[in-house]
Amino acid sequence: MPTRKKQTSAAHEVRKAPRQQRAIATVEGIKTAVLKLADKQGFADITITQIAEQAGIGKGSLYQYFSGRDAIYLALFEDAGAEMTAIMKDLYVRILDLPARQGVSTVLRRHLDFVRRHELVFLVMPGQVPHLQLTSHPITYENLIIRFTRNYIEEICPGLSSQEIAHRAFFVHEIAKSCIYRFVSDPPEKMSDKAFIDALSTLIADYLTKGVAQ
């Protein structure tokens, strides 16, 4: 079976890496233009002409940096993934010495903020441009969370079998993802962020440490 080359094909490549400040500003302006358009009309029907007009540049200038619309989408997705990777590295070091509930609460607060800021890219875009197969990308939000959760459980719950770690990571991931996504898109009436995080972190921490001496 041939290997996937979607992210590196000519149709999706970033043509020129920006080096000078003006070029960097142009690339960021293109990405911002896409997000503004997607917020109004979704990703599926955006055109290169619309992106260039929104960014205030000519199509020729846009093509200096991106081979097409899909290349911009991939750049946005990978930017968000890189940010999440950096967040997780920082969190992992900070929470290992904290009590489970406090550690989980710290992680959930950061993830809630991240999902809100990147809702269009990580929650909306994969479903609207399925041909990019973003859900199979190695830096998807879900893949990052699963790896982080497994590593965290191994540290705070020594002695668990690899199977039990996998089971707990699965449920924690599904519970956290579903609750955060729903809270961002349709929060319960009069529920504050603090109340949401407190309730969810208690639920997850109690499950994570079930039967494990703390």
Domain ranges in the chain? 6-69, 76-208
The region, left, alpha or beta by phi > 0 then psi within -120 to 50, assigned to residue 191 is beta
For residue 163, the model assigns a pLDDT of: 94
For residue 88, the model assigns a pLDDT of: 86
**Rounded average pLDDT over 156-182:** 91
Residue, of 202 and 22, whose pLDDT is higher: 202
For residue 139, the model assigns a pLDDT of: 64
Answer whether 6-69 and 76-208 agree in fold.
Answer: no
For residue 7, the model assigns a pLDDT of: 45
> What's the pLDDT tens digit per position in 11-60?
455 555 556 888 899 999 999 999 999 999 999 999 999 999 999 999 99
For residue 10, the model assigns a pLDDT of: 46
Q: Please state the pTM of the whole predicted model.
A: 0.77
For residue 84, the model assigns a pLDDT of: 86
Region 6-69: CATH code: 1.10.10.60
pLDDT at 140 over 70: no
Residue listed under structure tokens 């055109």: 47
Q: What's domain 76-208's superfamily in CATH?
A: Tetracycline Repressor, domain 2 (1.10.357.10)
Under a CB-based contact definition with an 8 Å cutoff, are residues 205 and 101 in contact?
yes
